[in-house]
Structure 1
């Protein structure tokens, strides 16, 4: 039985690694990574991006999306969101989407990371975390791309606004709303 390599001793389950993170632990990092992939110890997510999966009774667990996006971008300045989160607003949206959205300052387009496709949008500003106020503004910004009946959703927005923090909502509209969203929200605030 072959002994564990230096590289294998350094990696931790559940973590995502870039090739360059692992160079200090191997004299031949590409060979060692290829061997670990071949032995099914780590998973190659895309060129230069690897995951050492945690195990469950159902098999290997996928990487944590935040860790995955952080390593892919080499940056913490992003907001991971999804149109699925709009469903929590109670505006009648019920569709499920399988492409998370990543607002960031570095990448633009759809990227396959492992078995998931992420929609990266280069946006000038976005909050640090999701909130119901931001999700409402984001929903209005993207309403034309949703599968739901836009007029039915828009009809419920005024009622929803009454339950939200108006100060925070105005701030988010000014900071993150597109012109159409700003105009619509001015008419009901």
Structure 2
């Protein structure tokens, strides 16, 4: 029992831990994790990812999307975005999407972290912050994923890019656009 209390003493409120990080403090990490989860000290927030809960008036206060993704990837080179970001461009997109998209260099697929679904997309290149030019290129890259009238949205994109900074758009198109997107937007 003393070993378990010693293991527990290493955990800090609000801390995110990977299972592999906790192995050094326990001879039976799975048993100890199971016990900590059942007693409410830890909350499992993803595959091999645990959170020492902080409680507020609404229950468990989950960590931010950024901290969840950073810990999950063991990397801070990623961009979290959503198809909802396209709505601010005033191009006729109005749908609301539940998934967050995480551009990164390591993982692909849908993964639930902290009761939220993240769609990880492995990309060779993405910006640290989404500019308007990147958002437009990303919209066209993902046009087939959108619930809107796709030809109408593309037509509005092609009208909008005529009034944009061509250097920024060309740069974003070259760095982040798929072959199909480069062809569609270069012809505009």
TM-score normalised by length of structure 1: 0.85
Determine the C-alpha separation between the residues in 1 that align with 2:163 and 2:61.
Answer: 38
- After TM superposition, give the deviation of residue 73 of structure 1 in Å: 1.7
Q: Which runs of 5+ in 1 are unaligned?
A: none
- Larger deviation: 86-95 or 27-36? 27-36
The answer as to whether partners of 1:37 and 1:43 remain within 8 angstroms in 2 is yes
- After TM superposition, give the deviation of residue 163 of structure 1 in Å: 5.3
Determine the C-alpha separation between the residues in 2 that align with 1:22 and 1:59.
Answer: 25
> Where does residue 36 of structure 2 map in the other structure?
36
Count of residue pairs the alignment pairs up: 186
- Larger deviation: 63-72 or 23-32? 23-32
> Where does residue 71 of structure 1 map in the other structure?
71
- After TM superposition, give the deviation of residue 101 of structure 1 in Å: 1.4
- Larger deviation: 102-111 or 144-153? 102-111
TM-score normalised by length of structure 2: 0.85
- After TM superposition, give the deviation of residue 27 of structure 1 in Å: 5.2
The answer as to whether partners of 1:111 and 1:119 remain within 8 angstroms in 2 is yes
Determine the C-alpha separation between the residues in 2 that align with 1:46 and 1:155.
Answer: 40
- Larger deviation: 115-124 or 132-141? 115-124
Determine the C-alpha separation between the residues in 1 that align with 2:57 and 2:165.
Answer: 43
Secondary structure of residue in 2 paired with 1:5: helix
> Where does residue 182 of structure 2 map in the other structure?
182
Determine the C-alpha separation between the residues in 1 that align with 2:153 and 2:131.
Answer: 18
- Larger deviation: 14-23 or 83-92? 14-23
Q: For the structure 1 residues 165 and 26, does the alpha-carbon distance in structure 2 shift closer, same or farther, using more than 3 Å as the test?
A: farther
Q: For the structure 1 residues 93 and 53, does the alpha-carbon distance in structure 2 shift closer, same or farther, using more than 3 Å as the test?
A: farther
- After TM superposition, give the deviation of residue 111 of structure 1 in Å: 2.0
Alignment of 1:1-189 (within 5 A): 5-26=5-26, 28-162=28-162, 164-188=164-188
For residues 51-93 of structure 1, what are the alpha-carbon distances to aligned partners after superposition, in whole Å with 9 as ceiling and x for unaligned? 1233322111223111111222222222222111111222121
- Larger deviation: 96-105 or 151-160? 151-160
The answer as to whether partners of 1:14 and 1:64 remain within 8 angstroms in 2 is no
- Larger deviation: 141-150 or 163-172? 163-172
The CA RMSD over aligned residues, in Å, is 2.4
Determine the C-alpha separation between the residues in 2 that align with 1:134 and 1:13.
Answer: 37
- After TM superposition, give the deviation of residue 47 of structure 1 in Å: 4.0
